[in-house]
Amino acid sequence: MDGQPEIIKTALTYAEQGWVLAQSWLLSPAAWSQFGLLILAYVLAVIVTKRLRPKISQLLTPDSAQQNMLASGRRWLLIFVPLILPLLAYVFTAVGESVVRSLFDSGVVIAFGKRVFLFLAARTFVNEALRDPFLKLLGRYVLIPVMAIYAVGLLDVVSAKLSATVISLGNISFSLMSVVRGLIAGSLLFWFGRWSNDQSNAFIEKQKEMPAATRTLAAKTAELMIFGVAFLLLMNIMGISLTSLAVIGGAIGVGLGFGLQKIASNFISGVILLLEGQATVGDFVELDGGEAGKIVKMTARAAILETFDGRWIVVPNEDFITTRVVNYSDAGSANRYEAPFSVSYDTDINLVPAIVEAAVAKHPKVLALPYPPDCELRGFGDSGVDFAVEFWVNGLDDGENKFTSDVLFLIWNALKDNNITIPYPHRVVELHDKRAS
């Protein structure tokens, strides 16, 4: 072994220790009795589980029509039913361990079996109980390996080795154990923060009595608070003092002053927008740059507009503050539109306004307030007399609504019913015979 690498020597040393331990177990009556108790504990757990599991499942399964909080809690507890078998085996093994230690003053084998049952419980929990993809991934690659190391009795050794390895970065020093602990805790805190944020957003969105801008501001405030607390908890778990982050905070401040000033400006502009409520989710806006659409989402950096043709436009929050914005929904959803048309010169034009206004007023979406339909004479064209009818409606004349198209149909039918002709262009072509001249 003298010429072998260090890792090979360590592995052979552990293998030799394992062989000595196995020999001691195989030749010891106490070990055989512990093996027997392990088998008995598992068989007893299987028998009890077969009788107990159906009753527990029936007790926890609510009626499909029930959607209250109690029913949701029962459905949540139902996912832990597969853990009954390994946990019962663990409990029965623990009872057997106390008996063996009182008789033989030794319980190494049964303690190993108890850890194995705990490992099986963790494996069952990850494979059958967890539903969230992120938590399942975390359990598969973190919880199960940790429980496997614990089952073979090497968790303390690995923890001590990781704690003894220290890394220094300037004024900050931390061990590998704190890094591992931080990664695990950070992943859990990230998931919990995201879940909490989703729950708080769902709760805030249900408060319909609150203005839309206030709901959005409350949701963003809750998000900042949740992830701020998660960050402070993570720093505490990793053992990093907040005072040692002063240098990093100064660097971030310098970065904000130079490269990140646009991001900071957009963030502050977003807060101002939410506080003032001049543009919020659900409003249809048009900016000086030509961007127009319905605000479907407001983030810390930008607002997302959805156009009527299904495209999304990401507009920085700063543009809402520094440029002119036309909001078609801020002062109320009523908007005025007009539909142009022409009639023949043979028509008695004094009759046209009353006919058209009465026809347009029949449209179910045309409003009588703030003004009823108003037909106006616009001019005398080449082929006919030009009119336009102005009307007010709730909403926008695009997307789901085609108000102008409907109004033009009404005008066409009304004019036809009253024998009023809609002109079309006429051209006179004169042909001259040069030979005649």
Q: Are 379 and 386 in contact (CB under 8 A)?
A: yes
SS3 86: helix
Write out pLDDT tens, residues 24-77: 555 555 666 777 777 888 888 888 888 888 888 888 777 777 777 777 777 778
Beta bridge partners of 312: 306
Window from 93-107, 125-139, 218-232, 273-287 with minimum mean pLDDT: 93-107
Query: Which pLDDT tens digit goes with each residue over 140-157?
Result: 888 888 888 888 878 888
Q: What is the pLDDT at residue 252?
A: 62
Nearest to 276 by CA among 333, 225, 224, 216: 216
DSSP states along 198-225:
HHHHHHHHT-TTS-HHHHHHHHHHHHHH
Q: Collect all residues with Cβ–Cβ distance below 8 Å to 142 and sequence separation of at least 6.
A: 184, 187
Helix (H, G, I), strand (E, B) or coil at 290: coil
| pLDDT tens-place string over residues 388-397 | 999 998 877 7
Instruction: Write out pLDDT tens, residues 332-380.
Output: 568 888 999 999 988 889 999 999 999 999 998 898 888 899 999 999 9
pLDDT-based confidence at residue 412 (cuts at 50, 70, 90) = very high
Of 163, 160, 117, 125, the residue nearest 142 (C-alpha): 125
- Residue with the two structure tokens 């072998």: 4
CA distance 283 to 335: 13
Contacts of 204 (CB under 8 A, 6+ apart): 210, 215, 218, 219, 222
CA-CA distance, 177 to 410, in Å (whole number)? 77
- So what's the pLDDT on residue 342? 92
Q: What is the pLDDT of residue 426?
A: 67
Residue 385: per-residue pLDDT: 92
Is residue 4 helix, strand or coil? coil
The angle subtended at Cα 206 by Cα 200 and Cα 212, nearest 5°, is 95
Region label for 265, one of left (φ > 0), alpha (ψ between -120 and 50) or beta (otherwise): alpha
Structural tokens at position 379: 């001019």
- Backbone dihedral region for residue 287 (phi beyond 0: left; psi -120 to 50: alpha; all else: beta): beta
Instruction: Write b or e for each residue in 308-331: b if 16 or more Cβ atoms lie within 10 A of its Cβ, otherwise e.
Output: eeeeebebbbbbbbeeebeebbee
* Rounded CA Rg of the chain: 38
CB of 357 closer than 8 Å to CB of 372: yes
pLDDT for the residue numbered 353: 92
Residues in the chain: 437
- Asked if the bond preceding 316 is cis, omega within 30° of 0, the reply is no
Number of CB atoms found within 10 A of residue 81's CB: 18
Q: How many CB atoms lie within 10 A of CB 289?
A: 11
CB burial of residue 232 (10 Å; 0-12, 13-18, 19+): exposed
What the block records as the tokens of 271 is 């807060």
Alpha carbon 71 to its chain's center = 25
